[in-house]
Structures are given as C-alpha cells and as structure tokens.
Chains A and B, each alone.
Chain A
Amino acid sequence: MTHILNITGVNKTFGGLHALSDVNLQIEKGETHAIIGPNGAGKSTLLNCCIGRLAPDSGSVTFNGKNMIGMEPHNINHAGMVRVFQTPEIFPELSLLDNVMIPALAKRDGVFKFNPFRSMIFEHKIRDEAMSTLADFSLDQYYDQHAGSISRGDKRRLELAMGLVQHPTLLLLDEPTAGMARHDTNRTIELLKSEKMQSMTKVIIEHDMHVVFSLADRISVLARGHIIATGTPEEIKNSPQVKEAYLGESDNE
C-alpha cells in the first residue's frame, strides 16, 4: 500500500458550523503534501482529527493501515505520526536542550518508564542527538537558555526540531513559517528540503504560496470544510475552481 495516511469521509461540526464536510485525502509515502485554503477553512481541524486532539463526527482516519480514531495522542505519536503545532507548543520553563531531549526520550522510553535512579548526566546518546538536531536548526548556541525566552521564529524552529528528533514516519506541520521574517522563512524552507527531511513524508499547512510551491509535490485545497481540488502544483495553479475560491482572493490582498 502506498497510501500512508488515509482520510475518508471525515465530518466535523462545531455547533452549527461545518468545519469539515466529507473530507477525503490520501497521503502517499514519501511525498510532501501541502494543504492550502483561506483562514477558517478547517485545515487545523483536519490535523486535530488525525492526531487525536479532536474526534471527527464521522469518517475514518487510518495511518499505516491502522485506525487512528479514538486512539490516545501518545499512542498516535508512537505509531509514527507527529504534529508540529500552529502556535508554538514548547516547554517554556525548560532549556532548549531539554525541550529537544524530551521527545528523544519519548522515542526511547515509550509512553511510560520509571527510571528515577538513572542520571541525566549519563544520557550521552540522547544529549548528543538533541544537540545535533539543535545545531541543524542553528539553535545550538542557545542550548541552555529557557525556551520561553527565545524569539517567536526560534520557538517555531525549536518545535520543528522537537518533531524531527523523533524521526516520525509522517510529520504534520501546521503553518511552520507563520509569523516568520522572510529570511527565517527561507531558512525553514531550506531545512524542510534538506537531505535529512527530504525522504520523510510531510503534510504542510501553509499560507505562503512561495513556501507551498517550493516544497510541495502535491497540493490539496480546502475551502469551507470541503476539499475542492487535489493535484500537482501545476494543476492547482491552473485550476479555475481554485482560482475562484482561493488564489484569486489572495491576489487581491
């Protein structure tokens, strides 16, 4: 099976609002799949339904052939699907190094491990791995600072590092460059294109068309809870439907 993530017929309503209506989406192994769409289209909601933050009203989500609906978030993480959040979700009181060591420990220790007499000082392997991941994101010089004290762009990159250090099978990125300055955005694109990340299957929600077109193998367009088109960047660029629903809008901005 080449479809690593299979979303079929997913519906989600909030009160009277149809946030997602009959969403079907297949993510192929190895691809970078972008999801675009105006604000409030339901993009984040869709990711939330995949990683167990929200339960869809109906429909199914399977990952590697396994049903994900009703699974606990920590089990979904260990199944290999990892999410990077839209608003940075970090450990603000802990150091950058600790922030990256924790997901690395999750990978090694599983959902629970009681090892109170093991010393962090001797966790060389985990520390080296976290350090080199921080270095990949040029964050290593701040390794001992509190994560809450760094800039917003750095926080977002830190979160990316936290996701990456787990070597997920599928990485879900929710607007990884939102709120970043141009040069920060470009650096993030470079990172996502880098050798380490290229082979990883990724779903990227993104507003910035520059980012989308420089990264995506395929694009899906979400508008008012409906997937209105899925295709290659060329196909999407030329689709009249998409132009009307989305691209046209953003041209006027």
Chain B
Amino acid sequence: MKGLMQNNLAMMVLFSIVVLSAPIWANPIGANYPDLLQKFAIFGIFAIGYNLLFGLTGYLSFGHATFLGVGSYTAVWSFKLLSMNIIPAILLAIIVSGIFALIIGFLSLRRSGIYFSILTLAFAQMAYSLAYSVLTPITNGETGLQLTQQDPRYLDVLAGVVVEDGLPSTNLFGMLMKANGGYSGFYFAALILILSFYISLKIFRSPFGLKLKAIKSNQTRMKYTGFNTKPYLLTAFVISGMYAGLAGGLLASIDPLAGAERMQWTASGEVVLMTILGGSGTLVGPLLGAGVIKYFENIFSALNQAELIEVFSFMPEFLQNILVFICTPFVGEGWHLTLGAIFMLVVIFLPGGIIEGLQRVSGYIRRLVGFDKEQVNKESKEERA
C-alpha cells in the first residue's frame, strides 16, 4: 500500500475513483445530494490550498477567508459584466485573489510566528469591514452581491446569448451547473478538486516542497544554507490564496451570490480547523478534515429540539429530558459548540489529526494479523515525514 502511494499515477487514479464515485459511497451515510457533495469538494480545495501554506511552512494564517470572499465577489462580477460561463469567472477569481494574497502576504510575512498570524487576522478583519460597509458599491454590503436582469454581460451579448425571462444560470459553455439535479455542478467541482489535488501532490514531492518543509523545520538553518526564505514563503502564501480564490469562485459558480460573511474570521478559523483536524502537513488529511466538518455541520446544524426529543424517544422520559437538555445547546445554531469540542478532543488526543488516527488503527490491525511490528512503526514514521 505504502509503495503504491509513493507512485503519483497510482495515487491519482485511486483518488479520482474515490472522488468521482462519491454519489455512490455517500448514499449509505445519507450525504448523497449535490449541494453537500459540492461543499465537500469546494471546501476540500480550500483546505488543500491552506495546507500548502500551513502544512508545509508552518505559517498559521488566520485570514484565508479573505481570499475565498474575494474569489466569490470576482466571480459574481464576472457573471454580471462578462458572461455566465464559469470559466472566465473562475480564472478571474484565481487571478484577483492571487493579487490580494501577494499584497497581504508581502506585508504579513515581514513577521513570523504569532505576529504573522495576528497580521493576517487584522487584514482579514479589514477586508471584512470593507466588504460589509465601506465598499458597498462593489460588494452590495449587507445584502450581498447578486445577479440582476439588467446586468450587461458583454461577452454573452457578443455571443448572442439571450435570456428569456428571470435570471440567467451559470454554465460551462452552455452546460448548466444546475443540470442533472445539480450533479453537473458536483462533477465539475470534483474535476477541479482532482486537478487541485494533483498540483498539491506535485508540490509536496518537488524540491520546492521539500524546501518549504525545511523552512518549517528550521528557517534559520535554511538562510545559512543559502536560501532566501522570504520568496519561498510568499510563493506558498500566494498559491494557497489562489486555491482559496478558486474555492470562492466555485462557490459562486454553483450559487451566484457573494456576501461579506464568507470573509468573516469564523470562516478563516474553519479552514484552520479542517486542516488540523484532518492532519496538517499530510496530503489527504485536510481534505478529510473538510469532509468531516461539512458532513457533521450538515447533520448537527439541521437538528432542533423537537428532533432531539424524537431521537431519544426510546428512553424513559426523565432520561430523555436530561439528554435533550444536555444536547440542545450543541445542535442547530450551537453546532459550533460541537465543532469546538471535537476539535479540542482531536488536538489533545490525536495531534496528528484523523490521518494519525487512521495510521494507528491500521498499525493495530496489521499487528493483529501478525505483521512485523517494527516495520509498522517505521512506516508510520515515514508517513508523517
């Protein structure tokens, strides 16, 4: 298995199969609807990109939602001004968020450690209040940026596309994103996810990626080894910002509106949680983290007191009351409370995240079937590297 995973092609084939067959395996866990599957893919991309900064270099950014938001706004503007085709929207989202990342990264990377994190947080808060109020002409403030029938859509007009009535829909050269019950949107996001994962895999296994890992390990040493670490960090920052912009552009491609709440600090915090929960610095960990968080968010945030009473109805009434009383704060609006608790448990008991948990389990199983213990230890050590 390990040897197979070292092979890029084998890894990509396996990964593609798992992603594209999601509608099948998500069925038994009750996650088989395009809205949720798209979220898995899009936030997976966001987390994969974030991991290229945080996982590889150790620089903890608290402001990546800014780039997600910028990507969404850019995409919606592209729908309004250029075309309902998602290709220009997504390309522009990547480029514009990349420019934002270049500026914010350049300024924030003048410091490291906690000061870097605070700087990114400060920039993110600035961006949020700009979007929420100051830049209302561009962002439409509180209401959020939406399509209107009067939008010029110059490219579409040039191409002779006519919108009969109502609002036009996002499409890929004519194929609507909401076609096939929304599965078109999912498969498009899934293909982009596969491409994003491939790029991340290549970076991880390149000399460039190795140098980023070395910066995380001992930046001072890197300087005396002959590397200018600043441009390395800035490049990683911009790439991860572009991934976030891509994710934001995809969100807008599936549902063409953009609001400031997408840039709020809780959204920045969420991608940090995804990455750490899954296993920061590992290839697939952040993706798992994104999936797990979005899956449980979907379940817990939909629950309410009435449903809890239903869930515990098999119990004697006084027990039922107690459990409902305890659980109520953790569901619905209180889902973040559950998330916080899960996160604390993982950080305390499984600092390597879900990936470490899986490795422990597979190591345990292998020992049970009589695999050489030493080899198992050695492999899990390598995996972490």
The interface-forming segment of B141-149, B220-228, B265-273, B310-318 is: B220-228
Query: Does A51 count as interface, using CB distance less than 8 angstroms?
Result: yes
> In the complex, which residues of chain B have a beta carbon less than 8 angstroms from the beta carbon of A105?
207, 210-211
Given the complex, which residues of A lie within 8 Å of B206, measured CB to CB? 115-120
Is B2 interfacial (CB 8 A cutoff)? Answer: no
Known interface pairs A106-B226, A111-B227; A93-B221 also in contact (CB < 8 Å): no
| Assembled-state Cα–Cα distance A47/B223 (Å) | 16
Q: Which of A85-131 contact B (CB under 8 A)?
A: 85, 89-95, 98, 101-103, 105-107, 109-121, 123
Check A93/B213 contact, CB under 8 A, given A72-B228, A116-B206. Answer: yes
**A166 CA to B225 CA, complexed, in Å:** 9
Contact of A74 among B213, B217, B228, B381 (CB under 8 A): B228
Q: Is B226 within 8 A of A74, CB to CB?
A: yes
A102 to B211, CA, bound (A): 7
A249 within 8 A of B: no
Contact of A102 among B214, B223, B235, B382 (CB under 8 A): B214
Greatest chain A CB density within 10 A among B199, B207, B208, B220 is at B207
A146 close to chain B: CB less than 8 A: yes
Closest to B6 in A: A121
B221 touches A90 (CB 8 A): yes
CB closest residue in chain A, given B224: A73
CB of B235 within 8 A of CB of A114, answer yes
Task: Give the distance to chain A from B371, nearest Cβ to Cβ, in Å.
Answer: 19
Residues of B contacting A117 in the complex (Cβ-Cβ under 8 angstroms): 202, 206
Residue of A nearest to B208 (CB): A116
In the assembly, what is the distance between CA of A53 and CA of B205, in Å?
31
What is the CA–CA distance of A83 and B221 in the complex, to the nearest angstrom? Answer: 10
Rounded to whole Å, the gap between the CB of B292 and the closest CB of chain A is 25
CA separation between A93 and B381, bound complex, in Å? 10
Partner of A166, one of B214, B216, B226, B228: B226
Residue of A nearest to B232 (CB): A112
Judge whether B218 and A90 touch: CB under 8 Å. Answer: yes
Chain A residue with the shortest CB-CB distance to B212: A116
On whether the beta carbons of A89 and B226 are closer than 8 Å, the reply is no
Q: Measured between C-beta atoms, what is the minimum distance from A86 to chain B in Å?
A: 13
A220 at the interface (CB under 8 A from B): no
Chain A residue numbers with a CB within 8 Å of B385 are 93-95, 146
In whole angstroms, how far apart are the Cα atoms of A113 and B272 in the complex? Answer: 28
- Which residues of B have CB within 8 Å of A187? none
A190 within 8 A of B: no
* B241 part of interface (Cβ distance < 8 Å): no
Query: Does B231 count as interface, using CB distance less than 8 angstroms?
Result: yes
Chain B's interface size range is 20 to 34
Q: Does B203 contact A (CB under 8 A)?
A: yes
Considering only CB atoms, which chain B residue lies closest to A117 in the complex? B202
Cβ of B198 to closest chain A Cβ, rounded Å: 10
CA distance in complex: A12, B220 (Å) = 22
Q: Is the CB of A91 within 8 A of B232?
A: no
B205, A121: Cβ atoms under 8 Å?
Answer: yes
- Does A136 reach chain B (CB closer than 8 Å)? no
Q: Mark B227-260, 1 if CB is under 8 A from A, else 0.
A: 1100110010000000000000000000000000
- Residue B209 interfacial (CB < 8 Å): yes
Output the nearest chain B residue to A144 by Cβ-Cβ distance.
Answer: B382
Within the complex, the shortest CB–CB distance from B324 to chain A, in Å, comes to 47
**Docked pose: A116 CA to B209 CA in angstroms:** 7
Within 8 A of B (CB), among A6-46: none
**Residue A77 at the B interface, CB < 8 A?**
yes
Centre residue among B203, B221, B231, B385 by max chain A CB count within 10 A? B221
Please name the residue on chain B nearest to A110 by beta carbon: B226
The docked-state distance in angstroms from the alpha carbon of A101 to that of B210 is 9
Least CB distance from B73 to A in Å reads 28
Known contacts A114-B235, A116-B208, A120-B205: does B228 contact A93 (CB below 8 Å)? no
B218 with A91: CB separation less than 8 A: yes
Q: Taking CB as reference atom, which chain B residue is nearest A91?
A: B217
CB atoms of B207 and A51 under 8 A apart: no
The answer to whether B225 touches A162, judged by C-beta atoms less than 8 angstroms apart, is yes
Q: Are the CB atoms of B225 and A102 closer together than 8 Å?
A: yes
Query: Do B226 and A107 touch (CB < 8 A)?
Result: yes
> Which residues of B have CB within 8 Å of A91?
213-214, 217-218, 221
Chain B residues at the A interface, C-beta cutoff of 8 Å: 8, 199, 202-203, 205-211, 213-214, 216-218, 220-228, 231-232, 235, 381-382, 385
A→B interface (CB under 8 Å): 51, 53, 72-74, 77-78, 82-83, 85, 89-95, 98, 101-103, 105-107, 109-121, 123, 144, 146, 162, 166
Q: Which 10 A-B pairs have the closest CB atoms?
A: A77-B226, A106-B226, A91-B217, A111-B228, A89-B221, A73-B223, A116-B203, A112-B231, A116-B208, A93-B217
Given contacts A91-B213, A116-B203, 8 further A-B contacts (CB under 8 A): A72-B228, A73-B223, A94-B385, A95-B385, A106-B225, A112-B227, A116-B202, A120-B207
Identify 21 residue pairs between A and B in the complex whose beta-carbon atoms are under 8 Å apart, listed by A's number: A72-B223, A74-B224, A77-B226, A82-B224, A85-B224, A89-B224, A90-B218, A91-B221, A92-B217, A94-B213, A94-B214, A98-B214, A102-B214, A102-B225, A105-B211, A110-B226, A112-B228, A116-B208, A120-B205, A123-B207, A146-B381
